[in-house]
Amino acid sequence: MENIPEIPERISEKLFQYQNTRSAFVEDWLPGGKGILIDTRFGETSQLHIVAMPGGARRQITFFNEPIGSAAVCPDPSKNSFLFTKDMGGNEFSQIYHFDIATGNYKMLTDGNSQNGGMQWSNTGDKFVFASTKRNKKDRDVYITSTNKAANEAKMIISSGGSWYPVEWSPDDSQVLALQYVSANESYLHIASVETGKMVQINPVKKKIAYDGAVWAKDGKGIYLASDEDTEFSTLRYYNVQSKTITPLTNDIRWDVEEMEISEKGDKLAFVTNENGISTLYILNTLTKKYQPVPNMPTGIIGGLQFHPDGNQLAMVINSAQSPGDVYVLDVSSSKLERWTFSEVGGLNPETFVAPSLIEYETFDKVGGKPRKIPAFYYKPKTGNGPYPVIIDIHGGPEGQYRPGFSSNFQYLVNELGIAVIAPNVRGSSGYGKTYLELDNGYKREESVQDIGKLLDWIAGQKELDASRIVVQGGSYGGYMVLACMTHFNDRLKAGIDVVGISNFVSFLQNTEAYRQDLRRMEYGDEQDPKMKEFLTKISPLTNATKITKPLFVIQGQNDPRVPASESKQMVETVRTNKGTVWYLLAKDEGHGFRKKSNRDFQTNAVTLFLEKYVLEKEIIE
């Protein structure tokens, strides 16, 4: 912690309620469907809990200093157990553990050193597949094992180089569907024999296709998958295993299909589309291939689909800007939705929470002869008449998308500090078609920064907003965008908040963990090529740091495997050398963002003090 003044108690007191909101997430149905395994936080970190009925008590069953990553319940009810993942200090080298629900005993099943995850139980529940980097710490291979085997006994069934993930077992457990991920625009689906490892590629055509999920039909004759082949968006299709033909199913939906789940009997397929950041849930009849949206669903973001063994109850998480994520169960036959968890909002009145409006602003280039428009979500304070100071919050990825889920931080900024928040989805964001997704690749990197410049123009044209008090904030790639904006638009900004951001693309690509390097080179460009290296060096914020004269707050986790802490350190040192003002917060037990409550709370307290001092221009009494 450097240059951060002592935080006044009044800030901690004011933020206390906002820092004590929580959410709940579906992991899986319990054995036999007798309740739901959820992930929520009551102490320092998110842990696993059991909820037996709608509105029932949340009974915590894991107690670790580190948060749980994911969990999967064994489909064999007699085993009464589940798998879960957990890392150390945010290093993302997750290990897979087996947990016995009856005894509370658990044991680690992986090697303790590599990155492991993506576990998928076989249908009989006697074994599972998972992805791991243990062979060489760079490639992600697929292994098969069981809970009674040692880590070194896992059998590798896919070792073709690159990043591979198991997707699902065939109904007879003889084959595994596996995805090879190359980039956001390119991936490949294969069917692998569990016995021999022999693979057959689905749809082996000579063009780039991105696949976004797949499930086997329960009769084993086909696979439901989502892909963007010959379309802008990822649409649902049916692949016939025998004839190797693909039939489109949702070409009339002009948005991405992003999640799907099939019922135990295979008669129903639930899928979710992302429609301008808002989810729509559909149910497809697998016999007729007809589908309908589920009526009267709350407006928000839907995810975590899990069918009950009875095939009629569908668990999910619903999250919106005005309510934290909670677990709901849909009775598919009646379309009745029942809420299972009731997450607290720190005693705050939810009616005061601000819902954003979706805006679009013109940017510098044209599409079809008309100015291209950039979508953004705008949170406007309910009190006061303005002009309001503005925080531009830039998402990471860069292949991410800001979606209006619940943020206690945003609500605090808007309701307590009177700061408007605008979250743009600049070019390169997902959710708006594959052409839009590719608009910032390689040598077009800074065109996304220009989109922020045009947002500054839009803000200047709004009488209710104060264009002289604008802050940019963002994490990961969003942190790079903050630093880039500070170099390009220094005179138009009041301050910047960079969380785990890239400061130099060359050093980032050289130092990010080995299993990430090739994936990131596909997006940013290969620094091993002299011409690209020259370009990346030229546009890197570190190269242009002398242009930054406005206050900067840099926040970093020491154990970050994605954007190493050295990226933040070198930026802090360079700006200070240039006599710039920098606050620096480094957490030694965190990685790519803060996950422990005490660290997150200190971060939000410090950010509030930073905003008060440099944006709201309050006198700080130390």
Digit-coded pLDDT (tens) for 515-569: 999 999 989 999 999 999 999 999 999 999 999 999 999 999 999 999 999 999 9
Please answer whether residues 465 and 386 qualify as being in contact, where contact means their C-beta atoms are separated by less than 8 angstroms. Answer: yes
**Residue 245: is its pLDDT beyond 60?**
yes
Stretch 173-189: mean pLDDT, rounded?
Answer: 96
Q: Please say if the pLDDT value at position 151 is more than 90.
A: yes
Say yes or no to pLDDT of 617 above 90: no
In the predicted model, is pLDDT for residue 476 greater than 90?
A: yes
Residue 465 near residue 459, CB atoms below 8 Å: yes
Distant-in-sequence, close-in-space partners of 19: CB < 8 Å, separation ≥ 6: 346, 408, 597, 600, 601, 604
Residue 622 has pLDDT above 90, yes or no: no
Instruction: Please give the average per-residue pLDDT across 138-151, as a whole number.
Output: 96
Give the pLDDT of residue 620. Answer: 61
Given a cut of 80, is residue 178 above it in pLDDT?
Answer: yes
What is the pLDDT averaged over residues 200-212? 95
What pLDDT sits at residue 621? 55
Average pLDDT of the chain? 96
Asked if residue 618 has pLDDT above 80, the reply is no
pLDDT of residue 256: 98
306-334 pLDDT, tens digit per residue, is 999 999 999 999 999 999 999 999 999 99
* Alpha carbon distance 474, 483 (integer Å): 9
Distances (CA, A) of 6 to 10, 11, 326, 371: 12, 11, 36, 47
Q: Which CATH class is domain 354-614?
A: alpha beta
**Could you give the maximum distance between any two Cα atoms of the chain, in Å?**
74
Residue 140 has pLDDT above 70, yes or no: yes
- Mean pLDDT, rounded, for 617-621: 68
pLDDT value at residue 557? 97
Complete DSSP assignment for 200-269: EESS--SS---EEEEEE-TTSSEEEEEE-TTSSS-EEEEEETTTTEEEES-TT--SEEEEEEE-TTSSEE
What pLDDT, in 10s, does the model give residues 460-469?
999 999 999 9
What digits encode the pLDDT tens for the residues 5-58? 999 999 999 999 999 999 999 999 999 999 999 999 999 999 999 999 999 999
- Predicted confidence at residue 1, as pLDDT, reads 80
DSSP class of 614: H
Whether the CB-CB separation of 227 and 238 falls below 8 Å is answered with: no
